[in-house]
Chain A
């Protein structure tokens, strides 16, 4: 018989405490506009014995905290302008990506991302993206979320207008029964600039696209069509030749030519290229090195690395052409005061924080617009926009909140348009720290949340679920991959396996 052995008792106690599992508990960080959703998630997770506390943050502050790596689960959103994973899945899930808040790192996925953004073979890109979706679906670095519909309200008299997925407002083919002036209620507080090179803001772009044209145009469905360019082809994997439309004139009468295209891109590529200031749009050009003039009607885009033609076109959609001679001779201040482009409407007057007045370009190369005037008014309060549409003050409003849709649907003077959104909403999980460094816990959360119920209750059904970080409107989306089903039993099993007590 041995003596009293305290270490044995200690070891037994330790073993006991390990076997004695605790429920999963964590803090869910959210932002003011998603509090309702967070509360619903808390209630749902409570049913399977997961204890969640909600903490509300101001978005920019949450972002800084998340980057320190000390938060566990956070509700985030990320917009895409390319209709391609290039500016959504890649920055969000590539190792060290600018938006990789889950700290997800999978060498396989990284290699496929690299392949997909540097090959010019569309088929290879497609296969790579399909494979990526399967892997991130399984790895579940996020609780995959949803994309909100882009809801716009229009007067029943407005014809020939469609809501676009990229929030573009194309009024060049629109007409108004019983009138020729359309006033648009914009969701923004203020536009950023009247210079197409000096902003990184969708609403500013939506307005400026009526004054300026890009080489190519995106249809409301996201397809790319010729605009100031008529055709294009890859000469090599890094050289892209674009043929320009002939006979187009800027609003001031100057002819449009290859010089204007070269100038437009030069001022963005060069540091300090816009009247001594640097354009914030350079990152949207991909690995573009320079643009050279081949002839008056042809330009060549030269890239420092192979860049897929689909991405080239999606990037060119975002760059409107400015008049070289007008800016160089008339001066930059004059251009800002009286911007001139080739677009369907020309600038009359305006202030960035109140309204911009445009009138039709009689000589528009796609035909004179039917509307005589278009006015963009900045109306940051959604209820005011809805009221202005109902009172007939405006004929088109951006961003109708889902809870105000019913107020418009009851009125036969107005209609609600529904376009697909391009912003992914999700819960990102910190994959480098317990408890979410365990893949089973991450998968369990994906099974445990009933998104369909949340989207129905909180967003009145104006949202689509996402199976991963890929958008249905984007390139490479795999429609056969279904989102995680709501399956609390499976969530319980996974949590139990991971050592948590469940209910």
Chain B
């Protein structure tokens, strides 16, 4: 029963992705700017040259034919060839996506590791100096621009202390055979500790830049839902039964306070998987955000359409994951 529901939800991603792709198709073409003009840049170019390129890229076709080509291509599983890089767009996304997923997972680990203890502690010691510190720290974290914070971390840890590298995914001198595209996983598969350490070191600063900001949000959510749950009478009952205080807080209270936190994390997961252009740019991280933004400016319709479909699917999956987690946390909830 549950599996059927999950399958249903998965299938529902398809019309969502198609609808979003259709929106992307039209909005990219409505925006001013011609990809061929942009590609040729300044300098001399004859009209014949412009026409030849437009013809080859199918941009000389009327809009409805372009749309037809796009959808028939989709049915054949062909998402098209990038206008700028002239490469299969699926290949491009496949090399970019692992970098973004790796950074997203690391970000969530950092955020959870910080937010959970901080959120619980400040709820338990409500009104204490610790609580006030956490609240103002959270405010600071939320309002801190990632651009500024990321550069600050680079200057401190890479330039002054020289503990960590400024940017990139791995020391380029290391030759690691890429199997999955996830560098941490690939270096473990190759049993290459040097590569693993290098990848981990490179991951720390960008993951902290994104993770600190999100942990500020998450800690506040956990604190407020914990404060609410801690007033519940069933906790008094548990205490009366002689359950130790730490068990009351972690087992009885925290688990029930988790639902809002899971919701927020799920939404944020969808957002992170889209790639953060600013952080990826600062840390020279070859992820999806940079690719999509530069493709929008180059008017590379093909890449933007495919990426937007990927975003839609990611959001549906992230939401599904959240809903499944609800049922785990609270068996009364149904999918």
Contacts and interface: CB of A to CB of B under 8 A. Distances in A.
Interface of A: 58, 60-61, 63-65, 78-82, 86-87, 90-91, 98-99, 181, 183, 189-190, 192-193, 198, 200-201, 271-272, 277-278, 280, 282-284, 286, 348-349, 351-355, 357, 373, 375, 377-381, 383-384, 387-388, 390-391, 393
Interface stretch (B34-42, B129-137, B251-259): B34-42
A283 B158 CA distance: 44
B48 to A, nearest CB: 9
B290 interface: yes
B281 A280 contact: no
A381 B281 contact: yes
A60 B56 contact: no
B53 A278 contact: yes
Given A60-B38, A284-B43, A354-B286, A278 B52 contact: yes
17 contacts: A60-B33, A61-B31, A63-B33, A81-B43, A98-B44, A190-B85, A190-B290, A192-B84, A198-B86, A278-B52, A280-B40, A280-B53, A354-B284, A379-B284, A380-B281, A391-B162, A393-B158
A384 B166 contact: yes
Interface residues on B, range: 35 or more
Interface string B78-113: 000000111000000001100000000000000000
Contact of B85 (A58, A61, A192, A283): A192
A181 B173 contact: yes
A282 B158 contact: no
Given A377-B284, A387-B155, A271 B56 contact: yes
Given A355-B168, A375-B173, A391-B162, A381 B44 contact: no
A259 to B, nearest CB: 25
A354 B285 CA distance: 7
A277 B86 contact: yes
Given A283-B40, A381-B167, A381-B281, 8 more contacts: A81-B43, A189-B290, A190-B286, A280-B49, A283-B46, A283-B49, A391-B165, A393-B166
B42 A79 contact: yes
A272 B56 contact: yes
B297 interface: yes
B166 A391 contact: yes
Given A353-B96, A393-B166, A80 B283 contact: no
A193 B294 contact: no
Interface string B279-311: 001111010001100100101000000000000
Interface string B126-164: 000000000000000000000000010011001100100
Given A283-B49, A391-B159, A189 B166 contact: no
B56 A378 contact: no
Contacts of B299: 60
A280 B290 contact: no
B175 interface: yes
Contacts of B56: 271-272, 277-278
A10 to B, nearest CB: 44
A387 B154 contact: yes
A377 B172 contact: yes
Given A200-B40, A388-B166, A282 B49 contact: yes
B297 A60 contact: yes
B7 interface: no
Contacts of B122: none
A391 B45 contact: no
A91 B159 contact: no
Contacts of A198: 86
A284 to B, nearest CB: 7
B44 A189 contact: no
Contacts of A349: 175
B307 to A, nearest CB: 14
B198 interface: no
Contacts of B283: 384
Contacts of A91: 42-44
Contact of B286 (A193, A378, A384): A378
Contacts of A282: 49, 52
B169 interface: yes
Interface string B56-85: 100000000000000000000000000011
Nearest to B167: A384
Nearest to B287: A353
Contacts of A200: 39-41
B331 interface: no
B244 interface: no
B242 interface: no
Contact of B44 (A86, A271, A351, A352): A86
Interface in B167-215: 167-169, 172-173, 175
Contacts of B282: 381, 383-384
Contacts of B84: 192
